[in-house]
Amino acid sequence: MYYYYYYLLRPVYKKTWFSRHPQVKNWMILLRESFKQKFKSARAEVGEAPTQFIARLENYLMRWIDLANVEKDFDGLMSLIVREQYLES
C-alpha cells in the first residue's frame, strides 16, 4: 500500500518520503530487496513468450530502481549497480 503512494510521488518528493514516514522505512527496504532478488533470479516460465518475460524483467528493474531512490540516468544506474556489487562482495 505504501509503495503505491510512494510510486505516485513526484521525484522531488521521493527523497523526503522516509523523513515524513519513518515507520515504513524498513518495509520499503525489504520491498526494494525483494524486487532486486526477483530481477536477479527471474526465469522464463513455461509457455511464457519472450516479450512477456522481458516485460516482467523490466517491471522488476523499474520497481527496484524506484525504491533505491537513484536517478534514472546512466550515472544513477551505474551507482546502484556498483553499490550493490560492493555490498554483495
**What domain count does the chain have?**
1
Q: C-alpha cell of 54?
A: 522481458
**Which backbone phi and psi does 61 adopt, to 5 degrees?**
-65, -45
Q: What is the predicted pLDDT for the residue at 6? A: 60
Are the C-beta atoms of residues 32 and 68 closer than 8 Å to each other? Answer: yes
Which uninterrupted H or E stretch holds 80?
helix 74-88
The pLDDT of residue 66 is: 85
Domain coverage including residue 80:
2-88
N-terminal to C-terminal alpha carbon distance within the chain = 33
Q: What is the pLDDT along the chain (89 residues), one digit of tens a residue?
A: 455 556 666 666 666 656 666 666 666 777 888 888 888 899 999 999 999 999 999 998 888 888 888 888 999 999 988 988 898 88
Identify the pLDDT of residue 68: 84
